[in-house]
Amino acid sequence: MAFDFIELQLLQRQKEGLYRKMHCAQTKQGRACVFDDKTYLNFSSNDYLGLASSQVLINAWNEGAQRYGVGSGGSCLMTGYTEAHLLLCEEIKSWLGVESVVLFSSGYCANQAIIKLLFLARDSQNNNFLFQDKLNHASLIEAGILAPCNMKRFKHNDLAHLDLLMSQLNTENNNKLIISEGVFSMDGDQAPVQALADLSKKHHAWLMLDDAHGIGVLGDEGRGSVFCAENNRPLVQIYMATFGKALGVGGAFVAGDHSFIKYLINFSKGYIYTTSFPPAMAYTISASIRQVRKDQWRRDKLNALIKHFRSFAKSHHIKLVDSITPIQPIIIGNHNAVMRITQSMKKQGFWVIGIRPPTVAKKSARLRVTLTVNHDFKDIERLVLALKNSINKEACQHQ
C-alpha cells in the first residue's frame, strides 16, 4: 500500500526504544498528578509559578466567559479580535515596555510564522542568513530548514563560533537574523543575551529571543530574560514568549516595533488564517500577568526551592548541569537507561519524565526535573532520595 512506511517507522521506533505514547492526567495541574488512578508527586510540569489552577485565574476565566463567551468566532482580522484581546495586548505593552504586540495560539505557531514571514517574502536564498543556537526549540529549527535561507547553527551559547560564522559572509548587503532561546527548554541554562545583542549590532543583524521558559520567572516583575540583561530594557528586535508555562494559561505573543508587527499582521499567513484563541482565555491571561507582576513571593519561593534542590542533590552525589532556572536536567546518556529510571521513579510515587532523542541529541538522554512553587522543601528531599535510589539501582544492574 502507498503508506506502508507508517507502520514500518512505528515498529522501528518501538525497536529502538524511542516510541512515545500519550498519558491522560485525571487531575488539574498541581503538586500531585493522577494517571491511571495512581497519584504521583509531579516534577514534570512547566507551571513554574503554580498559577494554572489558582482560584484567581479560574475566577477570571469564568468572568471572561460571562463577558465575552467561550469562542472567538473567527480570525483576528475577521471577528475574533475582541476587547479582551486588545486589553491583553495593552497589558503586555505596559508590563514589558514594548511598542507593539500580536497574539498567537501557540509558541510553535508564532516561531514558524516569524521565520517564514521574514525569509519567504524577501529576495533570493543567497541573501537570507539565519543563525540559530544548536539547542534551539524544534519549532525554530524546523522553520529554518523549510524557509529559503542559508541556516547556520552555532555551537550552544558559543559567541566566538557565532562571530566566526557571521564574519565569513562576503557582504553586509544581506538579511541576517540571529535566534536564541532565553532559557533553553531541555538544559535549563540561559542565553548570554547582552553579548548576543552586541554581536547582532556588530554584524548588522536582527536578534530574536524565544523566552517561553524565561518570562514570568526571571527579571523584575517576571519580565523575562531580555530584562535580566541590562537596565531592564529590551535588547532584541523580536521577542516571543508563551502564556502556557509560568503564566499558567496558554497561547503566545510576539513583540516588536510598530512596523514589524504591522508587517506580521498584513503578511503572515500563520496569523491571518488562524482563529484567535478564546476571549475568555485572553481575559484570564491579563489576570495572570497582574498576578505575576504583583506576587514576587512566587519567584522568591521558586528560587529557594531551586537552591535547595541543587544543594541537596549535590550532597547526595547527583550530577547536575549548570542551571539556576526551574528546569534541572539530570543527564543519563543512554535512552533505555533513562526509561528504566523513569519507571523506577514512578514506582516510588514520582512523575519525572525521561527525555530521549530526537528531542535531545543522541547519548544525552536525561531526566527533565522541573520545579514549581507547588512544591515544598520536603518534596524536594524525597525526590532527591528517590533519584539517588533509582540511579544507583540502574548503575548496579547494568554495569
Report the candidate in 316, 287, 312 with the shortest Cα–Cα distance to residue 391.
Answer: 316
Active-site positions read 46, 137, 181, 185, 210, 213, 245
Nearest Cα residue to 245 out of 187, 288, 181: 288
- Ranges of each domain in the chain: 23-49+296-397, 55-294
pLDDT at 213: 97
Q: In whole angstroms, what is the distance from residue 326 CA to residue 188 CA?
A: 7
Q: Model's pTM, two decimal places?
A: 0.92
CB 193 within 8 Å of CB 225: yes
As a whole number of angstroms, the distance between CA 30 and CA 39 comes to 12
Which cell numbers in the block locate residue 307?
A: 537552591
Q: What's the pLDDT band for 119 if we cut at 50, 70, 90?
A: confident
**DSSP state for residue 236 in the 8-state scheme:** -
What is the residue-averaged pLDDT of the chain? 92
pLDDT category at 173 given cuts 50, 70, 90 is: low
What single-letter DSSP state applies at residue 125? Answer: G
CATH class of the structural domain 55-294: alpha beta
pLDDT at 182 over 70: yes
Q: Which residue has the higher pLDDT, 123 or 307?
A: 307
Give the mean model confidence (pLDDT) for residues 120-135: 77
Reported in sequence order, the residue ranges of 82-237 that DSSP labels E, i.e. its strands, are 100-104, 128-133, 150-154, 175-181, 206-210
- The span from the CA of 374 to the CA of 26, in Å, is 18
Is pLDDT of 125 > 70?
Answer: no
pLDDT-derived band at 25, boundaries 50, 70, 90: confident
Burial track 318-339 (b if 16+ CB lie within 10 A, e otherwise): beeeebebbbbbbbbebbbbbb
Q: What is the pLDDT of residues 232-258, one digit of tens each?
A: 556 799 999 999 999 999 999 999 999
Interval 72-79 mean pLDDT: 91
**Per-state percent for the chain, helix, strand, coil, to nearest 5:** 45, 15, 40
CATH H-level superfamily of 23-49+296-397: Aspartate Aminotransferase, domain 1 (3.90.1150.10)
